[in-house]
């Protein structure tokens, strides 16, 4: 679809999508506004009408990622029959999100490696903190219901949950095979479940 005559909100959304598509194939640090404009089929001038700097584009991308990922895991957890079922649903939702948007982890890892306290980097750090808080709440509920080990270190379990997904993502990036994420995820989840005392 042409992006030459889109309304402002749609143009911004199209810009985010273009960056995500480029990030799935290229090192995010190498992506330029020229590349983004070309991906969208517009001029750099048209791009800068909506984003004054590349940093502003990155901020929009990080905001999009945070909103979509947290909404996805929140929706996955809602209506589950137990805290353990909610955790599994969140795990699967995160794997599904990354599988659908392989440029996301490349962008996140890229931002975290940048020098200095950039706003996009702070946004990634905030996203991780909010994610861990959600996980801690579900894990604590699992302890309260007796479904999870009462001796469980909730903070460490939240870190390991995210770390397990990050490990799967990193291995899929190294292998150059996004499909590996979905293939390896069930086995990793089974080990995690046993580790938090959630043997069924």
The per-residue pLDDT for range 95-135, each reduced to its tens digit, is: 999 999 988 888 888 777 777 788 888 888 899 999 999 99
User: In the CATH scheme, what architecture does the domain 53-195 have?
Assistant: Orthogonal Bundle (1.10)
Does pLDDT of 94 surpass 70? yes
Q: Is residue 1 predicted with pLDDT exceeding 50?
A: no
Residue 7 confidence class, pLDDT cut points 50, 70, 90 = low
Output the six-digit token pair for 136: 């801690």
| CATH architecture of structural domain 1-52 | Orthogonal Bundle (1.10)
pLDDT, mean of residues 13-33: 88
pLDDT at 2 over 90: no
Indicate the length of the chain as a whole number: 200
pLDDT digits 0-9 by tens, 141-182: 999 999 999 999 999 999 999 999 999 999 998 888 888 999
pLDDT at 5: 54
Token digits for 184? 């390896």
For the chain, give the percent of residues with pLDDT over 90. 57
Residue 152 dihedral angles phi and psi, to the nearest 5° = -60, 135
Q: Who contacts 35 (Cβ-Cβ below 8 Å, separation ≥6)? A: 22, 26
Is pLDDT at 27 greater than 70 in this prediction? yes
Identify whether the C-beta of residue 165 lies closer than 8 Å to the C-beta of residue 91.
yes
CA–CA separation, 194 and 15 (whole Å) = 42
Q: Between residues 110 and 199, which one has the greater pLDDT?
A: 110
CB-based contact 149:82 (threshold 8 Å)? no
Residue ranges per structural domain of the chain: 1-52, 53-195
**What pLDDT was estimated at residue 159?**
96
Is residue 65's pLDDT more than 50?
yes
The reported pLDDT for the residue numbered 198 is 62
Tokens (6 digits) for 155: 């903070």
73/89 Cα distance (integer angstroms)? 8
């Amino acid at each position: 679809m042409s992006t030459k005559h889109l309304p402002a909100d749609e143009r911004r959304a199209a810009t985010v999508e273009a960056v995500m598509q480029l990030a799935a194939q290229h090192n995010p640090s190498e992506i330029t506004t020229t590349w983004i404009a070309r991906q969208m089929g517009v001029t750099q001038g048209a791009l800068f009408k909506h984003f004054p700097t590349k940093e502003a584009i990155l901020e929009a991308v990080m905001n999009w990622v945070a909103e979509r990922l947290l909404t996805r895991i929140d929706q996955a957890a809602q209506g589950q029959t137990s805290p353990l079922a909610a955790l599994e649903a969140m795990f699967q939702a995160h794997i599904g999100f990354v599988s659908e948007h392989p440029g996301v982890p490349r962008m996140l890892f890229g931002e975290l490696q940048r020098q200095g306290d950039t706003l996009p980097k702070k946004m990634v750090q905030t996203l991780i903190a909010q994610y861990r808080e959600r996980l801690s709440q579900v894990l604590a509920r699992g302890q309260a219901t007796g479904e999870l080990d009462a001796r469980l270190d909730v903070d460490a379990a939240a870190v390991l949950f995210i770390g397990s997904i990050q490990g799967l993502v990193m291995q899929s990036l190294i292998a150059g095979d996004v499909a590996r994420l979905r293939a390896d995820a069930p086995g990793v989840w089974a080990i995690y479940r046993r580790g938090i005392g959630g043997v069924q």
